[in-house]
Structure 1
Amino acid sequence: FTQCPLTTDHAVIKNLFSAIRTGMVKDGTAIGNGLATAVTRVKDSKAKSKVVILLTDGVNNQGSVAPLTAAEIAKAFGVRVYTIGVGTIGKALAPVAMYPDGSYQYGYVYVNIDEKSLGEIASMTGGKYFRATDNEKLKNVYKEIDRLEKTIFEEKNFTNKAEHFLPFAVSAALLLLLEFLLKNITFRSTP
């Protein structure tokens, strides 16, 4: 499912992501479904560069769309896919159950990342596969993707001009009229 539609409003993203809880969706990794959904969101964009960043910590074991089929769809729509395998390969601590009070029971689970498929998806769509084992490496991956996706565009500058002459001109004309009236009617001197 889509937790957040495309937006540049970071506050909305943070709020929606803070509401994510274990158990909101069925357990498993549906790489193909996730990629197909993402492609559907960007396929009609008029942007020069259409990109999906696929971030996963596992192997496709759920869903109705095969990951390579989703990659073919992305390629057909001109969507470049950057894939990122995150986390530990082997045993990793993960939430395995939720208590009634909302806290979690953690246990070690076996984790595997299908790096071969992730590399194929990236290669097929003109993207690149990255591996990130910690937050710092993930930040560097995002910086690299940002560097690879620079788009040159024509900058258009607009100048908003506002004329402020009229109020001053009217005020000056009224003062001249007042001076004329005072001089010729009120303070008129007779010879």
Structure 2
Amino acid sequence: MFENIEFANPQFFWLLLLLPMALLWYFFKRKDEVASLKISSIKGFSVKNIASQLRPVLFALRLLALAAIITALARPQTEDISTRTKTTKGIDIVMAIDVSSSMLARDLKPNRLTALKEVAGDFIKQRPNDRIGLVGYAGESYTKTPITSDKSIALSALKEITYGELEDGTAIGMGLATSVNRLKESKAISKVIILLTDGVNNSGFIEPNTAADLAVEFGIKTYTIGLGTNGNALSPIAYNPDGSFRYGMREVKIDEKLLEEIADVTGGKYFRATDNEKLEEIYDEINKLEKTEIEEFKYYKYEEKYRPLILLAGVLLLIEWVLRNSIFKSFI
């Protein structure tokens, strides 16, 4: 009966101290409850009255009724809590991913592009309340998927990103500008671009600084990531006769100054990822920096449980009254 029960007014349980006091009173006063007859001797009388021996049952019934009433005053109740969450600060995020041939370099395992896709996929899964879009760029840029709240679409599009969809090159300005274009009409309170590259701007007809100014105009923050180890990396350097890449050591060139300028002017931050672990740490840090505010509403439903106790007390008192005026009725 009292499973998962809470009491709204537990202070009434102090009244239970009256019960032992009542027991003491009854112990010393019980003989005064019935009339007595004094005679010199009861020799010859048969005095086997079971009713008189069971008379304390009446007082026990009163005590039980009083205990039930006190428990009812404490208001036992069950509590049902339902919650509803509301996103009070949604974030729209576009991930601009370099898909040039250098992203096939093997300084990250198994290569830069595959490592990025794995880490970016985990990042998307950790943003259940935000909209995510994907932009790919090499010698030019394109929208892989517009911003969407459907994470399955974003994750599927991320898996499909591969080298060879665009002319080779690194058009950082184009990638950034396309990302800005995806976000400029967004009504989200916070708009973010995560731009990743492993090279220097050498293609496209939009300068990176011009694209950064557009991001500032539309209130879009840009986090930039330079991907690649320090020194040389095993990278594609030519084609084999069968069309596959021939790999060789090539110097890693990243325009870190440009990436720092883009991040600084737009209010973002620049990161350098030299291995798989560092890349994961960077996305974890961005995930912490860009927090979506969630407002949680709790609805409480209380169901009072005192009524059965009041009914029980009433039944006990009724039984006590009936017994007192029938079986235990005194005619003396």
TM over 0.5: yes
Higher RCO (C-alpha 8 Å, min separation 6)? 2
Instruction: From 61, 71, 80, give the equivalent of 2:212.
Output: 71
User: What are structure 2's unaligned runs of at least 5 residues?
Assistant: 1-141, 300-332
Contact persistence 1:48–1:151 (CA under 8 A): no
User: What is the CA–CA distance in structure 2 between the aligned matches of 1:5 and 1:99, rounded to whole Å?
Assistant: 36
User: What is the CA–CA distance in structure 2 between the aligned matches of 1:101 and 1:155, rounded to whole Å?
Assistant: 59
User: What is the CA–CA distance in structure 2 between the aligned matches of 1:56 and 1:154, rounded to whole Å?
Assistant: 36
Give the match's secondary structure for 1:108: strand
Q: In structure 1, what residue type is equivalent to 2:194?
A: I
**Bigger CA drift: 120-129 or 94-103?**
94-103
Contact persistence 1:81–1:121 (CA under 8 A): yes
The offset of 1:40, in angstroms, is 0.6
User: What is the CA–CA distance in structure 2 between the aligned matches of 1:14 and 1:150, rounded to whole Å?
Assistant: 20
Aligned pair in 2 of structure 1 residues 108, 4: CA closer, same or farther (>3 Å)?
farther
Q: In structure 2, what residue type is equivalent to 1:7?
A: T
* CA deviations over 1:127-176 (Å, ceiling 9, x no partner): 00011111111111111111111132434679xxxxxxxxxxxxxxxxxx
Structural mapping, 1:31-50, within 5 Å: 31-50=172-191
The offset of 1:113, in angstroms, is 0.6
Counterpart of 1:92?
A: 233
User: What is the CA–CA distance in structure 1 between the aligned matches of 2:162 and 2:238, rounded to whole Å?
Assistant: 12
TM-score in terms of structure 2 length:
0.43
Counterpart of 1:152?
A: 293
Contact persistence 1:89–1:113 (CA under 8 A): no
The offset of 1:92, in angstroms, is 1.6
Contact persistence 1:132–1:141 (CA under 8 A): yes
User: What is the CA–CA distance in structure 1 between the aligned matches of 2:208 and 2:256, rounded to whole Å?
Assistant: 12
Counterpart of 1:119?
A: 260
* CA deviations over 1:73-110 (Å, ceiling 9, x no partner): 00000000000111124322223445576643222333
| Larger relative strand fraction | 2
* CA deviations over 1:14-58 (Å, ceiling 9, x no partner): 444444443321111100000000011111111111000011101
Aligned pair in 2 of structure 1 residues 125, 47: CA closer, same or farther (>3 Å)?
same
Aligned length: 159
User: What is the CA–CA distance in structure 1 between the aligned matches of 2:175 and 2:168, rounded to whole Å?
Assistant: 14
Identity %: 58
Structural mapping, 1:1-191, within 5 Å: 1-98=142-239, 103-155=244-296
Aligned pair in 2 of structure 1 residues 146, 61: CA closer, same or farther (>3 Å)?
same
Query: Which has the greater radius of gyration?
Result: 2
Aligned pair in 2 of structure 1 residues 71, 107: CA closer, same or farther (>3 Å)?
same
The offset of 1:13, in angstroms, is 4.0
User: What are structure 1's unaligned runs of at least 5 residues?
Assistant: 159-191
Give the match's secondary structure for 2:287: helix
Q: In structure 2, what residue type is equivalent to 1:39?
A: V
**Bigger CA drift: 16-25 or 142-151?**
16-25
Counterpart of 1:182?
A: none
Give the match's secondary structure for 1:6: strand
